[in-house]
């Protein structure tokens, strides 16, 4: 649908979205007991503060906007996330390795590489549990999970349309599949220093652990023991291999829905392609197959539970609904109440930082599409999309690179910037890792990542 609603929505319609974000940020800190037991109700309450006035004021157009968010965005998002979560949780990696600095950097590097080919969610769900297990002997683990979110759940997904949803949207709108490989230099500019910074953090905490333990046990060789403890027996054993086939099936189904165009079906007046319905049905079938073929004992050993995906279900319902007016205003460009944002972008560096800043708090897929279209309108107004995209790639590729890198990289700035961030945090907390609060996490991300993003902007945009 055309986003005419965004031209009439007042700026204050974004207040519930801000309230939703503040609830996620402050709820676990200020009233943890109430938040833990009632966060789903709070999410529904913020959603109602948007939905009820929207429907009352704009009638059919408001209903259609909400149905579009649910049918075209939220439900497919949840089904894909649920499939990756279920299948990833059915793969058990047993290893006798200990979480030394080198082993942990290996996890982060391999996870970042896999993220571009099986999605940031798929790579994160595959590796987060074994990553936590190999470090179960370590006292300080929260920083490890934070770096895991940075590298595996975000930065690593920059190289192909399979890596992150915004790049997949670009693929659907005519960007060649392998075009995004040119983001490898910006990605490495972030990833390599990130691994080096992790090395410093890990060594510091190893020494801190050794000093604390030696004060208790007077064992002056503890740090050497932590680093060089022998690892007898098998180094790796992978169980639940059938889920790897299902993981490949997920990738195949997603590519199918992007490449194959079929008849348009109307569901509650929301138009969607038949290929999208087939994709969603296939992903639900994959979830059921994974549950059927994976032994219960394997999931138990993998410490698998449904709590993380349920938390994402409840909280992202509120996020998607309260986000709808904000995205509608952004997509209306110069005619919307947020025109001061879209009018501010003229150079690649502007696209990089503004698309990135919004992707830190909004869904990065529609944010990418908004500034993708802004770039097309800036250079080729009135031209059909297909030739406009071809010209943009040939004549002004830096603009699309900036939007792509900003949308993917900046998802690491907050817990809600990318869906796997939230799931990784929930899995870590279930495993006994005391994760930083919303704002403490942002202290990590801003202090560590923003200088690297500024370096990327300086070198490439």
Full pLDDT tens readout for the chain, 461 residues: 445 777 888 888 889 988 988 888 788 778 878 888 888 899 999 999 999 999 988 888 888 888 888 888 788 888 888 888 898 888 888 777 787 888 899 999 999 998 988 888 888 888 898 899 888 888 888 999 999 999 999 999 999 887 887 887 788 777 887 899 999 999 999 999 999 999 999 998 888 887 877 766 654 444 444 444 444 555 667 888 889 899 889 888 888 887 788 888 888 888 888 888 998 999 999 999 999 999 988 888 888 888 888 888 888 899 889 888 887 787 776 777 777 777 778 899 999 998 898 888 876 777 787 788 778 777 777 676 678 888 889 898 999 999 999 999 999 998 888 878 888 998 898 888 899 988 899 999 999 999 999 999 999 98
368: phi > 0 → left, psi -120 to 50 → alpha, else beta; which? alpha
Distance of CA 349 to the CA centre of its chain: 22
Buried b (16+ CB within 10 A) or exposed e, 148-174: bbbbbbbbbbbbbbbbbbbbbbbbebe
**pLDDT for the residue numbered 216:** 65
Distances (CA, A) of 351 to 172, 333, 338, 358, 399: 20, 14, 15, 11, 7
SS (H, E, C) 369-420: HHHHHHHHHHHCCCCCHHHHHHHHHHHCHHHHHHHHHHHHHHHHCCCCCCHH
**pLDDT for the residue numbered 44:** 93
Between strands 264-267 and 270-273, the pairing is antiparallel
| Orientation of helix 101-134 relative to helix 242-259, angle to 10° | 100
The two structure tokens encoding residue 453: 């993003």
**Which residue blocks in 218-306 are alpha helix, DSSP H?**
222-228, 242-259, 274-293, 296-301
Q: Helix or strand or coil: residue 433?
A: coil
CA dist., res. 399 & res. 262, Å (int): 31
Q: What is the sign, positive or negative, of the torsion defined by CA atoms of 175, 177, 180, 182?
A: negative
Does this model's pTM top 0.85? no
**pLDDT for the residue numbered 225:** 46
The two structure tokens encoding residue 159: 């190289």
**pLDDT for the residue numbered 231:** 45
The number of CA neighbours under 13 Å toward the Cβ of 318 is 25
The two structure tokens encoding residue 266: 């109307």
Burial of 343 from C-beta contacts in 10 A (0-12 / 13-18 / 19+): exposed
In the chain, the largest separation of any two C-alpha atoms, in whole Å, equals 75
| Orientation of helix 307-331 relative to helix 75-88, angle to 10° | 150
- Calculate ∠ Cα 343-74-169, nearest 5°: 55
What is the per-residue DSSP string for 121-176? HHHHHHHHHHHHHHTTT-S--HHHHHHHHHHTTTGGGGSSTTTSHHHHHHHHTT--
């Amino acid at each position: 649908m055309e986003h005419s609603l965004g031209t009439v929505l007042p700026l204050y319609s974004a207040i519930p979205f801000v309230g939703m974000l503040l609830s996620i940020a402050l709820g676990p800190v200020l009233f943890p007991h109430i938040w833990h037991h009632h966060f789903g109700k709070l999410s529904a309450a913020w959603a109602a503060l948007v939905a009820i006035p929207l429907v009352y004021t704009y009638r059919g157009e408001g209903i259609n906007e909400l149905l579009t968010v649910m049918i075209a965005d939220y439900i497919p998002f949840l089904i894909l996330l649920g499939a990756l979560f279920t299948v990833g949780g059915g793969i058990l990696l047993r290893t006798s390795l200990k979480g030394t600095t080198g082993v942990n950097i290996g996890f982060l590097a391999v996870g970042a590489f896999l993220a571009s080919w099986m999605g940031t969610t798929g790579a994160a769900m595959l590796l987060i549990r074994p990553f936590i297990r190999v470090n179960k002997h370590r006292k300080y683990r929260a920083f490890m999970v934070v770096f895991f979110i940075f590298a595996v759940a975000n930065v690593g997904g920059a190289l192909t349309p399979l890596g992150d949803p915004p790049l997949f949207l670009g693929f659907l709108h005519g960007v060649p599949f392998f075009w995004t490989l040119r983001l490898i230099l910006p990605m490495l500019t972030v990833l390599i220093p990130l691994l080096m910074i992790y090395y410093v953090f890990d060594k510091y905490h190893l020494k801190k652990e050794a000093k604390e333990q030696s004060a208790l046990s007077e064992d002056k060789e503890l740090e050497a023991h932590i680093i060089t403890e022998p690892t007898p027996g098998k180094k790796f054993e992978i169980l639940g291999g059938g889920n790897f086939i299902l993981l490949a099936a997920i990738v195949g189904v997603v590519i199918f829905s992007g490449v194959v165009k079929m008849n348009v079906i109307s569901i509650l007046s929301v138009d969607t392609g038949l290929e999208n319905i087939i994709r969603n049905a296939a992903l639900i079938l994959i979830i059921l197959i994974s549950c059927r073929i994976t032994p219960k004992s394997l999931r138990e050993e993998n410490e698998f539970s449904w709590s993380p995906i349920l938390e994402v279900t409840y909280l992202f319902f509120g996020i998607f609904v309260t986000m709808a007016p904000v995205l509608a205003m952004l997509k209306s460009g110069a005619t919307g109440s947020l025109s001061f944002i879209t009018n501010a972008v003229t150079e690649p560096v502007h696209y990089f930082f503004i698309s990135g800043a919004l992707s830190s708090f909004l869904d990065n897929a529609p944010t990418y599409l908004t500034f993708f279209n802004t770039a097309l309108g800036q250079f080729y107004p009135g031209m059909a999309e297909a030739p406009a995209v071809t010209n943009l790639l040939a004549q002004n590729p830096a603009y699309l690179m900036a939007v792509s890198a900003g949308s993917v990289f900046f998802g690491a700035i907050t817990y809600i910037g990318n869906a796997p961030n939230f799931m990784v945090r929930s899995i870590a907390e279930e495993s006994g890792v005391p994760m930083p609060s919303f704002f403490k996490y942002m202290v990590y991300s801003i202090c560590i990542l923003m200088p690297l993003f500024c370096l990327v902007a300086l070198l490439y945009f």
